[in-house]
């Protein structure tokens, strides 16, 4: 394979190989040499030519995951056959039912112990992520499926609580305690006119967050 004839192909191969190893061995236990061994035809130097560090590889994987989620979001937003509530549910299902996204989050979660990373994530959850939920909630208000007076508050709380309070990493819980917590969130959201968590979505959510305990 001619090196750098198509750098994006090489980068894609490095990312795929690294992701596979991160998922099986864990991020901490993975070395650049593991990635070299897996690929077979690239030197350490060649990998560093494309990514300055192991962290840079993980950052690119995370960025690509976010772009994929944005594409999914755009697809759901464009649908005309379902109402706002169904779109909101579908987007949450996509977020928590996506195995690739799930595994990547598991790889990344220890970085939330770094105060800088936690602070920048909190800023993102407060300012950017609500923009993903609020349009669906507002569509639901217009079509009658989400009878809420609190679209902005619901979007902020879904972002903050689903990324922080539901994580057993920050708030330790057994499976039954986590189910109780998710049911609590469901009850509160229903009370403000956002009945997004039905029994099926509660089940999915509990299973998703328990997988972080592994």
Q: What DSSP string describes 37-77?
A: HHHSS--HHHHHHH-SSHHHHHHHHHHHHHHHHHHHHHHHH
By CB under 8 A, residue 138 contacts its own copies: no
How far apart CA 95 and CA 203 sit, in angstroms, is 14
Calculate ∠ Cα 72-12-39, nearest 5°.
Answer: 140
> From the list 153, 204, 211, 212, which residue makes contact with its own copies (rule: CB under 8 A)?
153
**What is the spatial distance between Cα 181 and Cα 165, in angstroms, rounded to a whole number?**
9
Nearest-approach distance from CB 120 to its own copies, in angstroms: 8
Q: Are 4 and 50 in contact (CB under 8 A)?
A: no
| Cα–Cα distance, 189 to 184 (Å, whole number) | 9
Q: Which of 56, 174, 191, 198 binds its own copies (CB under 8 A)?
A: 191
Smallest gap from Cβ 110 to its own copies, in A, equals 14
Site string for its own copies, 72-111 (x = CB under 8 A): ----------------------------------------
Q: Which two tokens stand for residue 21?
A: 């190893």
* Cα-trace Rg, the chain: 20
Least distance (Å) between residue 208 CB and its own copies: 18
Candidate list 109, 160, 202, 210; residue touching its own copies; CB under 8 A: 160
Contact between 40 and its own copies by CB under 8 A: the answer reads no
Binder among 52, 53, 170, 198 for its own copies (CB under 8 A): 170
Find the binder of its own copies among 68, 188, 202, 210 (CB under 8 A): 188
What sections of 51-198 are H helices per DSSP?
54-78, 84-97, 99-108, 115-127, 130-143, 151-160, 175-191
**48 belongs to the binding site for its own copies (CB under 8 A):** no
Q: How far is the CB of 149 from its own copies (least distance, A)?
A: 8
Minimal distance, residue 189 CB to its own copies, in Å: 8
Per the listing, tokens 């001619």 go with: 2
Minimal distance, residue 123 CB to its own copies, in Å: 8
Residue 59 sits in the site that holds its own copies (CB under 8 A): no
Query: What is the distance between the alpha carbons of residues 109 and 142, in angstroms, rounded to a whole number?
Result: 37
Binding footprint of its own copies on the chain (CB under 8 A)? 115-116, 118-120, 122, 126, 149-150, 153, 156-157, 160, 164-165, 170-171, 180-181, 184, 187-192
């Amino acid at each position: 394979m001619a090196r750098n004839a198509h750098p994006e192909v090489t980068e894609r191969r490095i990312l795929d190989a690294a992701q596979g190893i991160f998922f099986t061995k864990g991020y901490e236990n993975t070395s650049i040499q593991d990635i070299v061994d897996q690929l077979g035809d690239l030197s350490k130097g060649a990998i560093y030519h494309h990514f300055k560090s192991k962290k840079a590889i993980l950052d690119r994987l995370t960025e690509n995951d976010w772009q994929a989620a944005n594409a999914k979001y755009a697809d759901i937003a464009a649908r005309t056959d379902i109402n706002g509530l169904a779109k909101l549910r579908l987007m949450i299902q996509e977020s928590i039912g996506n195995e690739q996204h799930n595994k990547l989050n598991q790889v990344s979660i220890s970085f939330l112990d770094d105060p800088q990373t936690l602070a920048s994530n909190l800023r993102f959850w407060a300012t950017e992520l609500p923009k993903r939920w609020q349009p669906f909630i507002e569509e639901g208000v217009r079509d009658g499926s989400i009878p809420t007076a609190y679209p902005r508050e619901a979007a902020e709380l879904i972002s903050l609580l689903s990324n922080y309070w539901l994580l057993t990493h920050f708030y330790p819980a057994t499976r039954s305690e986590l189910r109780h917590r998710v049911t609590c969130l469901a009850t509160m959201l229903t009370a403000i006119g956002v009945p997004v968590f039905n029994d099926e979505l509660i089940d999915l959510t509990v299973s998703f967050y328990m997988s972080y305990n592994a």
